[in-house]
Amino acid sequence: MGNLVIREVKRQLLTLPTATLAGAAWNNNGEVIVVDDDDEAIAVSDEYAPEHLELMTDRNDYYVDRLTNYGSLFVGEESTVAYGDKGVGTNHTLPTGKAARYTGGLWAGKFIKTVTYQRLTPQASRRIAPAMARLCHAEGMLAHEITASVRFNRYAPSNTE
């Protein structure tokens, strides 16, 4: 099956108007990987973390539900990178060089400040304190360990009644 892909790329390069550039890209970076099953294909794709990923399979929904590392995903034969780049996509500023492993494409939310907070009940604080203290100790963060231990003692049932 991989040989068929290689033959098709070579065939298309014969008539492609940008064959010089595309041919150089193919020769320098082109790669065909043959996998045994869908899950291996997903693992390979997530490792590559491509900027653009065109998905054309008999099980597109299976892939959509499991793929995690890509800049923009184009699902099905009806979709194409050209559409996303030029009109129907959310953006054209996408992560390259495998950066899709840890970030997505540029969107309005990248310009919005987000903040988070935590709020625990005394009982929840006491319940989580021992595990947090052990973790802090293991990481050498001894002052953090102390703050967890203080809360464990502070919220003992006799102290919170």
Residues with catalytic annotation? Answer: 51-52
Contacts by 64-67 with C-beta closer than 8 Å and gap 24+?
Answer: 66/39, 66/42, 67/42
Beta bridge partners of 53: 73
From the list 66, 71, 81, 22, the residue with the least C-alpha distance to 48 is 71
Give the span between the Cα atoms of 18 and 132, in whole angstroms: 58
List phi, psi (to 5°) of 55: -115, 115
Counting every residue written for the chain, the total comes to: 161
